[in-house]
Amino acid sequence: MTARKYVVGITDHMIGRPDLEAEVLGDDVEIDFFASTDETSFDPGRLARLDALMVWGARLGPKTINHLTRCKGVVRYGVGYEKIDLAALAAAGIPFANNPDYGTEEVADHALAMILSLHRRLWEHDERARGYSSGWQIHSLKPLSRSNRATVGVIGVGRIGTAVINRLKPFGFRILGYDPGQPPGHEKAIGYQRAERLDDVFSQSDIVTLHCPATVQTRGILNAEGLARLKHGTIVVNTARGELIEDLDALEAALRSGQVAAAAIDTLLHEPPGNHPLLEAWRNREDWLAGRLVITPHNAFYSDHAAIEMRTNAAKTVKLLFDEGRLRNRVTE
């Protein structure tokens, strides 16, 4: 039997064993499947054998990275990389790549479903209709505006933010986009109104949807200060990063006061969520919050097709590294 040329480690996996990755990588690659999100469980000897490492939910810190003595690259299955110590990888001379080119349609669809459902107050109607015993049609919730009378502020107009804008346009919403990283004229090509200042988005939007990464500039963007700058009665949607809304005390206060009319969140700072009073009110379907807070379990990215795409694209990134010596989607910050 011919010895295999490369060894690829996979820390953990969302779905089953990495058979699809093995198919993409080919017969000259041995896969070492750690099957754990616990970084402390990774055997140093196994790490030292790896020519590349693929990561899903595990953290990757200096202790692990110091053992990657043969590693030519680390690839994360997903888009975010908050759990990856990029400085330690850079110090070790190991390039890192994420996997941004999957699930765009799914996250955009998820965000749009949240936006439309909260704008039409569907969840709140559903919650309250359970108790109506008479006067069925008179129980319309107010205020309830037409879509072409409402403004949606999109913070982050990259792949997913653009896909959201393209989905919003047929409904007639006025669309503001804020993204200092996009070049002049991007708004003309996509079809939105560029906001030069974040405050313009906050002060003018009836709905704010977040599609930016968690950076020094964006962490806590809708904590107490940011929430206070919104129009009273704004709808907030976050399918991006939990770090963007870190302060659940502030979010609870904004929901109670009506500063935030409703919120839909797919990603939280701590997952699964703990026992914060706001989360307890959500779990217990407390009347004051009925239909006004929607939480999904960080699965906006998911569809059967996206799961295959995610695994295939990540494995192709590793294969390209071996075949051509270059790491696509490389992250250098």
- Check if 280 is active-site: no
Give Dmax over CA atoms of the chain in angstroms.
78
Distance CA 153, CA 202 (A): 8
Distance CA 166, CA 173 (A): 11
Write down the catalytic residue from 82, 271, 280, 286.
271
Write down the catalytic residue from 49, 298, 328, 330.
298
Return the amino acid letter for 82.
Answer: E
Q: Report DSSP letters for 45-68, one per residue.
A: HHHHT-SEEEESS--B-HHHHTT-
Distance CA 277, CA 22 (A): 45
Distance CA 42, CA 78 (A): 20
- Check if 241 is active-site: yes
Write down the catalytic residue from 13, 67, 110, 241.
241
Within a 10 A sphere around the Cβ of 219, how many other Cβ atoms? 17
Distance CA 65, CA 165 (A): 39
Within a 10 A sphere around the Cβ of 77, how many other Cβ atoms? 24
- Check if 271 is active-site: yes
With CA atoms as reference, report the closest residue to 73 among 46, 54, 101: 54
Return the amino acid letter for 131.
Answer: G
- Hey, which residues are catalytic here? 241, 271, 298
